[in-house]
Every structure is written in structure tokens, then in C-alpha cells.
């Protein structure tokens, strides 16, 4: 791959931003110098960030199922997803695939298997711009969650497993009226059908979730995978996560849960759209509020890939306690450390040359170049 040199860059390091030069050689960061240089490309004061690391995005599922009952070619769906991810500055993405069927979503596990295979095929053929790993989202209240996870567990690309329970009346949907509004809008079901679904879902969750959780946690820990707990709302939820060895608290819904998770050493992950929009679409705790309290560690684009980059630059405006380097850590260093990716996540000599060149235009970060392991991919 040879050598690439950037001069006159605002380089975002782990703890500060410096103006200087950066040398890439054979896919790695070879040298970093502060001050003016004269040996490489003058990038005119643009920012150089580490390549962003996305831990939780289900954007791929929308590319595969762009309309009800319409399934796209799975490899083509991966490439469509990959192109937008890379163009948003994301060089490592954990594609979130769900297991565990629901009344309105059947064959979830089959679709997950198809997409996992398509990701592997695309990577093996060197078709992708970003590096793709797998995040398996396990719906504990589904009868077949543990069995479907066992099928997925054969993939060597799995790095993260999240424990979800969307039983109405708890976690994300403690308020049943909120659940009715969300799920009724999603399905179009009449009130009677929705109420029957809620009753059935609550009974089923109580029956199957504890055993599913036990089986999935045991299997994930035997494989050395990072665990995440999803939508924790109470100290009791957090205590359960601690007992299971969870490393990441995904989208805690209340300050109480975020504070307890942080206090136990878990990384608190929140949605970048929450930052950009100024709050949660479900009425839960705002990510910026957790940032102001010092309780925010990781951001995830969730359903809008570009939001990850946008939120990193917005965050210091919403939470003055954070500077740009602090905010960028939530999308680079911290997700890398939480999932054991020791070779990337910051601009430092010897690490992978995963980089994003950014220029601010009217307050929006515009991607002007993306490099993965020293090779330009966008």
C-alpha cells in the first residue's frame, strides 16, 4: 500500500486536538508530528479522526427488507448498507442481526442466517469498504431465542451479544400507553388485537425469558463474547446485568439505570439520533443529559448511519463538559475498548490506519475521505 502523508491537519487524538502531520505506511499509522510539515498533501486544516466504530445498527435489515414482503438480494443489501456506512465515516461496523420471532415478525432467525452468510461472502470477496463484525440481538421473550442464537453462534464474526426483552410494561415500554402508540402505529392493529397481544406477550415473557437468558449468557461467555444489556430501567435490571458479566449498557431508559451501570464499570451506550434530535423518540432519558452527568461512554447510529458523526460534533454543544476529543472517543476509542478491538479506535503509532477526513460546513461534518487500513474506501 506504500506511504501516504497528510499535512496541515487538525488531528483528533484520544485527549486533545493538535495541528500537525500524519504518516500512513503499509496500513498502519507510522508517525505523528505536531506543527507544520512540508512533505505530504496539505489538507487545508480539515479534521482527521480515527475511523468511527459502530456497535449497534440495524440499518442492514432495512436494506434487505426495504418494503413489507420485499426481500432484496442479500449481498446487494450488504453492499448498499456498507456504502452508506463507509460514506458516514464508519470503518468498523457491528451489523446487528436479531434472533427471536414475534407475532408480527416471523422467520427472524432465518433472515439473520441469510444476512450473516451474505456478510461473510462479501468480505471474503473483498467487496466491502468497511470492516464488518456481527452483533446478535437476542429477544429473550421469544420462545425460540436461545435455539436461534445457538445456530448463529457458529459464525466466527460474532463479537457482541445483546440481551433484549421487549415485553410490554417494562424497560423501554414501562408505560403501556406508550407501547400501544408505538406498536399500534407499527402494525395498524385494532385495540382488541393489540390488547390480546400485550396479554400474550407478558405471559410468554414470564414463561421463557429467564431460561433463554441463562442459556444465551452461558453460551456467549463460553465463546468469550462481549455482552450488552438492552433498555435497563432499574437498579434490579443492572444487578442482573452485573451478575451476567455484561460489559455494555445499551440505551438505559432512566438516569438511575445509567448511573448504576456506570458505577459498576459498564460502558453506557446511547443513540446518536437521540443527541441529534434532542431527546429520545420513546420519551426516555436524553443522551445529552447523561453526557452532562458524565454517564455517557458510547454512541450508536442505531438507524441513521450519518448520525454517529453528526452527534460526535454536536455533543460538545449539548454538553459543554465535553470537548471534541471527549465526544469523538464515544464513537472510536470507547467502543473499541468495550469489544476488545485493541488495534484500532485512535490515532496512535502502530495502530490501524482507519481514518476519516472531515470539513465542517455550516456546522455539519462533511466527509471528504475515508481510509481503512491505509486504503481509501470513500
CATH code of the domain covering residue 11: 2.30.40.10
Give the three cell numbers for residue 171.
424497560
Q: What is the percent of the chain where pLDDT is above 90? A: 81
pLDDT tens digits for 310-359?
999 999 999 999 999 999 999 999 999 999 999 999 999 999 999 999 99
Provide the 8-state DSSP code for 346.
S
Other CB atoms within 10 A of residue 194 CB:
17
pLDDT for res 105: 66
Residue 38 pLDDT greater than 80, yes or no: no
- Which residues face 97 on adjacent strands? 136
Give the total number of structural domains in the chain: 2
Are 141 and 278 members of one domain? Answer: yes
Rank 38-42, 56-60, 167-171 by mean pLDDT and report only the highest: 56-60
Report the pLDDT value the prediction gives residue 231, as an integer from 0 to 100. 92
Please report which confidence band the pLDDT of residue 202 belongs to, taking 50, 70 and 90 as the band edges: confident
Q: Are residues 172 and 277 in the same domain?
A: yes
Q: How far apart are CA 132 and CA 128, in angstroms?
A: 8
Within this chain, do residues 197 and 335 fall inside the same structural domain, yes or no?
yes
What is the rounded average pLDDT for all residues in the chain? 93
The answer, as to whether pTM is greater than 0.75, is yes
One domain for residues 179 and 315: yes
Same domain for 143 and 45?
no
Return the closest-CA partner of residue 309 out of 275, 347, 281. 275
Same domain as 354, residue 338:
no
Residues 336 and 313 reside in one and the same domain: yes
CATH assignment at residue 279: 3.20.20.140
What φ, ψ does residue 335 adopt, rounded to 5°?
A: -65, -30
**DSSP string for 117-161:** HHHHHHHHTT--SSEEEEEEEEETTSTTHHHHHHHHTT-TTEEEE
pLDDT tens profile 125-176: 999 999 999 999 999 999 999 999 999 998 999 999 999 998 877 777 777 8
What does the pLDDT read at residue 196? 86
Which three cell numbers, joined as nine digits, stand for 234?
432499574
Clarify whether residues 33 and 152 are in a common domain. Answer: no
Q: Judge if 358 and 213 occupy the same domain.
A: no
Shared domain check, 128 and 26: no
User: In terms of domains, do 269 and 356 share one?
Assistant: no
Structural domain harbouring 307? 52-343
Residues 222 and 327 in one domain: yes
Amino acid at each position: 500500500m506504500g506511504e501516504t502523508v497528510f499535512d496541515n491537519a487538525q488531528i483528533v487524538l484520544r485527549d486533545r486536538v493538535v495541528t500537525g502531520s500524519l504518516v500512513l505506511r503499509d496500513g498502519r499509522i507510522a508517525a505523528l508530528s505536531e506543527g507544520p510539515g512540508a512533505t505530504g498533501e496539505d489538507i487545508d486544516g480539515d479534521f482527521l479522526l480515527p475511523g468511527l466504530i459502530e456497535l449497534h445498527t440495524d440499518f442492514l435489515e432495512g436494506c434487505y427488507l426495504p418494503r413489507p414482503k420485499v426481500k432484496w438480494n442479500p449481498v446487494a443489501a450488504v453492499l448498499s448498507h456498507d456504502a452508506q456506512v463507509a460514506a458516514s465515516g464508519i470503518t468498523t461496523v457491528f451489523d446487528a442481526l436479531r434472533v427471536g420471532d414475534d407475532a408480527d415478525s416471523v422467520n427472524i432467525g432465518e433472515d439473520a442466517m441469510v444476512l450473516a452468510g451474505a456478510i461473510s461472502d462479501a468480505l471474503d470477496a473483498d467487496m466491502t469498504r468497511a470492516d464488518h463484525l456481527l452483533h446478535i440481538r437476542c429477544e429473550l421473550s421469544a420462545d425460540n431465542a436461545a435455539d436461534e442464537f445457538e445456530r448463529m453462534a457458529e459464525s466466527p464474526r460474532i463479537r457482541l451479544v445483546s440481551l433484549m426483552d421487549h415485553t410490554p410494561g417494562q424497560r423501554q415500554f414501562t408505560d403501556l400507553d406508550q407501547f400501544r402508540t408505538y406498536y399500534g402505529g407499527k402494525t395498524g392493529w385494532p385495540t382488541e388485537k393489540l390488547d390480546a397481544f400485550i396479554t400474550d406477550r407478558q405471559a410468554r415473557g414470564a414463561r421463557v425469558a429467564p431460561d433463554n437468558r441463562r442459556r444465551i449468557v452461558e453460551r456467549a461467555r463460553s465463546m468469550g463474547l462481549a455482552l450488552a444489556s438492552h433498555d435497563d430501567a432499574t437498579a434490579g435490571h443492572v444487578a442482573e446485568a452485573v451478575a451476567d458479566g455484561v460489559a455494555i449498557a445499551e440505551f438505559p431508559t432512566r438516569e438511575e439505570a445509567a448511573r448504576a451501570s456506570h458505577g459498576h464499570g459498564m460502558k453506557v451506550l446511547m443513540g446518536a439520533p437521540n443527541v441529534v434530535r434532542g431527546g429520545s423518540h420513546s420519551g426516555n432519558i436524553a443522551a445529552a443529559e447523561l453526557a452532562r452527568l458524565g454517564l455517557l461512554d458510547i454512541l450508536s447510529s442505531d438507524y441513521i448511519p450519518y448520525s454517529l458523526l453528526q452527534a460526535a460534533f454536536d455533543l460538545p454543544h449539548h454538553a459543554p463538559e465535553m470537548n471534541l476529543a471527549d465526544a469523538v472517543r464515544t464513537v472510536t476509542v470507547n467502543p473499541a475498548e468495550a469489544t476488545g478491538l485493541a488495534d484500532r479506535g485512535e490515532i496512535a503509532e502502530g495502530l490501524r490506519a482507519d481514518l476519516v477526513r472531515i470539513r465542517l460546513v455550516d456546522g455539519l461534518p462533511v466527509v471528504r475521505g475515508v481510509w481503512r487500513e491505509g486504503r481509501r474506501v470513500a
